[in-house]
Amino acid sequence: MDEGLEVFFEQYGQAYSALDANAVSSMFALPFMTIHQGQGTVWETMDLLLPATASLLGWFEQQGFLSASYTIKDVLCISPDFASVNLIWSVTRLDMAAWQYGTCYHVKRGAGGWRIYGVVQFDTVPELEEGVEAAIKLRHSLHSNL
């Protein structure tokens, strides 16, 4: 795997583990797309993406989130500037069972380095569904108010 891509995911994992919405969102390319439960959602501006990211991370915090770590399961290098990276996350929570789930990140390299332009949530736990749904609903409500 590309060394710069490894460093990128280390930084992403640290931002996610810190529940830092600004740092996490800064690692996304625009437009940014998620696919969750077969539904695609596109965020075209940071004004829409940042509040949705903050909402999701806030929901994680309410669920007793303590920290997250990942294992790289697969990497598909499409070209020197595009890749798909499949991570298995393990989230520790306060006085609760850990979450383990898989997420596939579609990344591209540009002048600013690697950025995530798409996320496919393919393996989730029931509690996680609520937080993702809340973030998507927030995106739709923000978009309709513009």
Q: Over the stretch 9-38, which tens digit does the pLDDT of each residue have?
A: 999 999 999 999 999 999 999 999 998 777
Q: Residue 55 carries which side chain, given as an amino acid letter?
A: S
Strand-pair category, 28-36 with 113-123: parallel
How many Cα neighbours within 13 Å face the side chain of 20? 12
Contact residues for 76 (Cβ-Cβ < 8 A; gap 6+) = 83, 84, 85
Contact (CB, 8 A) for 68 and 89: yes
CA-CA-CA-CA torsion sign (57, 58, 64, 66):
positive
pTM: 0.82
Beta sheet of 96-110, edge-to-edge order: 39-43, 28-36, 113-123, 96-110, 82-93, 65-79
> Interhelix angle for 46-62 vs 126-144, to 10°?
150
Task: Output the average pLDDT for the chain.
Answer: 86
Write the pLDDT tens digit of every residue in 97-128.
888 888 999 999 999 999 999 999 876 654 55
3-state secondary structure string across 6-48: HHHHHHHHHHHHCCCHHHHHCCEEEEEEEEECCEEEEECCHHH
95 confidence band (pLDDT: 50, 70, 90) = confident
